[in-house]
A and B are shown apart, each in its own frame.
Chain A
Amino acid sequence: MRRNVEPVASAAPLDRPAKSGLEARDPARRRWQAPTGERPAVRRLLIAAALAFLGFVLVLPLVLVFVEALKGGVGVYLAALADPDALAAIRLTLLVSAIAVPANLVFGLCAAWAIAKFDFVGKSFLITLIDLPFSVSPVVAGLVFVLIFGSQGALGPWLSDHGIDVVFAVPGIALATIFVTFPFVARELIPLMQEQGTGDEEAAISLGASGLQAFRLVTLPNVRWALLYGVLLCNARAMGEFGAVSVVSGHIRGVTDTMPLHVEILYNEYAFPAAFAVASLLALLALATLLLKSLLEWRHGGGLKPRRGH
């Protein structure tokens, strides 16, 4: 009989006066932990670090924008927004995004459709090209349009002879915005459409639908939530774009100033309450976008898969 080994093992914890450290814990009573999990202390530390960083870098500035904007009271705030130049900037921003977002909606849908449903030479090159606006500095994008359409540019003189101004005018701002925001819709749709494949379209056409009917009745409804999501992000970026627009705009007050440019001008003129008032509108836009985005993800997460996050 070797039973006498057992009491020794069970007596061990009793010998220790206090449970200190991990070793003291009875191994059988230690709480089960998922293999990929962490100890509570580590977990809390990581979360706290992340929250502190987020608070300092994201939340604090956002709160300060509103605090600064409302410092002089609601009257000053509203007066700053009612300023004709501010109103012109808001109008221009809305106009530009009303041009850029639908344009990118159509371009993005076409590009995603082509990439996901067809095989052709140069497909991977096209995918890389779509990502170009993400990798190139917006300032460079703006400069490119100045080079093409500027008074010294390739097409600029001919166009201005015909009474069309691109640079330092609305068309240039719209072009620069379209360039910068191009990837949002396409990037949102490509993975989803690739995953869905062409089976549904084949089914629709075998049932007698025309190509257009298949697109309208099957393809589009299949990607509608991802499309809306892409449009949302595209719109947020279109309204907030600074770099590329700054180069082509020429900063003509009340004419070619968008909201972000107007904020900078006001700030440089030490008109802080007015600058922050306009900035608060942009911040509100960001918050509204975030809210809608979360709502979409929560309600229609399935329709947005597969996700790579932004």
Chain B
Amino acid sequence: MDISIRRLRKEFDRYPALHGVSLDIASGELLALLGPSGSGKTTLLRLIAGLEFPTSGAVFFGAEDASQKSVRERNVGFVFQHYALFRHMSVADNIAFGLRVRDRATRPPEDVIRRRAAELLELVQLPQIGNRFPHQLSGGQRQRVALARALAIEPQVLLLDEPFGALDAKVRKELRRWLRELHERTGHTTVFVTHDQEEAMEMSDRVVVMGQGRIEQVGAPDEIYDRPASAFVHGFIGDSSALSVTVDRGEVFLGRRSLGPLAAGLPDGPARMLLRPHDLELTAQSAGAIAGRIAAVRRHGGARMIELEVGDKGERLEVAVPASTPICPEPVQAFRPLRWQIYPAG
């Protein structure tokens, strides 16, 4: 089931949480909504589910306008951040809930329901725990049960709100891979919300980066990382440092020094140059290089991180060099940018 979101706007007490967002989600896609807290990603997910009603705009499931349908009628599988398992029901009863509450005409017979619950437990690789209660499960197990419960109603769309937010790092990593595999097997159109860029990059086909109630960029993980559409995306995804520069007829000036004609086609005036730590190279030449005073050197995994103080404003630039690189005692070093992005300031 493909989903089309058209100029969706949501206000809470006149405060806009989402400013007219449009997005197309392909059938069978695994899509991540990524953003810092307050970016509107959870609001968007809840609007798709029908747990909130939009102030304006529409959500289409296929060719059908789902906007006027309640969450009950939309047939979406929603996995809540804290799972919302029914604490007084066994795991099997939790999973069977969605089938048991159907009206008599569409409800499968009890033995079919029970078999289906067992199958789903098998699918989420927890075949033995049907008789246990939610409080007897670990966080990772609860997560899987919540997913099995959502899948039980054979949803058109699977929506997950911070699916791994409440788990510890190791379990999170395992479950990520597992969910990706499960998605490949079941083929549900899946949208999940996360604030963890690593999670979004690793799992999804496409990432939607959100900031302050707007979509900043939509693209494949590589695209988002290598060609960030805005300074916000560049700053949010991966490590980066920003320098205040001036653009004059395509030439970029750091203070009064020219870095060369790096910004063809950009309007003249103040701009921000964003650089990732790995995209700089130590150089002996000063032409076109960024020179600065070494303020600190730290070891960071296999690399050595240099904090370079650049310009008279004291802006800090982070540079990663191989750990084997000897750091000259000379406090001023020059680095040549290999890759960069320049965005007009504002």
- In the complex, the chain A residue whose C-beta lies closest to that of B103 is A210
- Interchain CB contact under 8 A, B101 and A200: no
- Interchain CB contact under 8 A, A208 and B98: yes
Instruction: Tell me if A159 counts as interface (CB < 8 A to partner B).
Output: no
Instruction: Say yes or no: A205-B72 contact (C-beta < 8 A), given A199-B84, A218-B86, A222-B88.
Output: yes
CB-CB under 8 A from B51, the residues of chain A are: 202, 206
- Interchain CB contact under 8 A, A203 and B101: no
Min CB gap A3→B, angstroms: 44
Partner of A199, one of B80, B98, B153: B80
Instruction: Tell me if A126 counts as interface (CB < 8 A to partner B).
Output: no
Bitwise interface map of A from 187 to 217 toward B, beta carbon under 8 Å scored 1, else 0: 0000000000001101111111110010001
CB-CB under 8 A from A199, the residues of chain B are: 80, 82, 84
Partner of B97, one of A202, A210, A217, A222: A217
A22 to B169: give the CA distance in the assembly, Å: 51
Min CB gap A199→B, angstroms: 4
Min CB gap A209→B, angstroms: 4
CB-CB under 8 A from A210, the residues of chain B are: 72, 101
A213 to B87: give the CA distance in the assembly, Å: 16
CB-CB under 8 A from A207, the residues of chain B are: 97-98, 101, 149-150, 152-153
A203 to B75: give the CA distance in the assembly, Å: 12
Instruction: Tell me if A221 counts as interface (CB < 8 A to partner B).
Output: yes
- Interchain CB contact under 8 A, B87 and A206: no
A199 to B83: give the CA distance in the assembly, Å: 9
- In the complex, the chain A residue whose C-beta lies closest to that of B75 is A208
Count of B residues near A, CB < 8 Å?
Answer: 24
Instruction: Tell me if B102 counts as interface (CB < 8 A to partner A).
Output: yes
Q: 27 A-B contacts, Cβ less than 8 Å apart?
A: A199-B80, A199-B84, A200-B84, A202-B51, A204-B101, A205-B70, A205-B71, A206-B49, A206-B71, A206-B72, A206-B76, A206-B150, A207-B98, A207-B152, A208-B72, A208-B75, A208-B98, A208-B101, A208-B102, A209-B98, A210-B72, A217-B86, A217-B97, A217-B101, A221-B86, A221-B88, A222-B88
Instruction: Tell me if B335 counts as interface (CB < 8 A to partner A).
Output: no
Bitwise interface map of A from 215 to 248 toward B, beta carbon under 8 Å scored 1, else 0: 0011001100000000000000000000000000
A218 to B86: give the CA distance in the assembly, Å: 7
Count of A residues near B, CB < 8 Å?
Answer: 16
A142 to B101: give the CA distance in the assembly, Å: 46
A204 to B85: give the CA distance in the assembly, Å: 9
CB-CB under 8 A from A202, the residues of chain B are: 51, 71, 78, 80, 84
Bitwise interface map of A from 169 to 202 toward B, beta carbon under 8 Å scored 1, else 0: 0000000000000000000000000000001101
Q: Which DSSP category, helix, strand, loop or mixed, fits chain B's interface?
A: loop
Min CB gap A302→B, angstroms: 9
A218 to B78: give the CA distance in the assembly, Å: 17
CB-CB under 8 A from B78, the residues of chain A are: 202-203, 206
- Interchain CB contact under 8 A, A209 and B88: no
- In the complex, the chain B residue whose C-beta lies closest to that of A207 is B98
Min CB gap A189→B, angstroms: 16
A213 to B102: give the CA distance in the assembly, Å: 10
Task: For chain B, residues 46 to 79, give those with C-beta under 8 angstroms from any C-beta of chain A.
Answer: 49, 51, 70-72, 75-78
Task: For chain B, residues 97 to 118, give those with C-beta under 8 angstroms from any C-beta of chain A.
Answer: 97-98, 101-102
Given A202-B51, A202-B78, A208-B102, output 5 extra A-B contacts at Cβ < 8 Å: A204-B101, A205-B72, A208-B101, A209-B97, A222-B87
CB-CB under 8 A from A209, the residues of chain B are: 72, 97-98, 101
CB-CB under 8 A from A205, the residues of chain B are: 70-72
CB-CB under 8 A from B75, the residues of chain A are: 208
- Interchain CB contact under 8 A, B97 and A204: yes
4 nearest interchain CB pairs? A207-B98, A203-B84, A209-B101, A199-B84
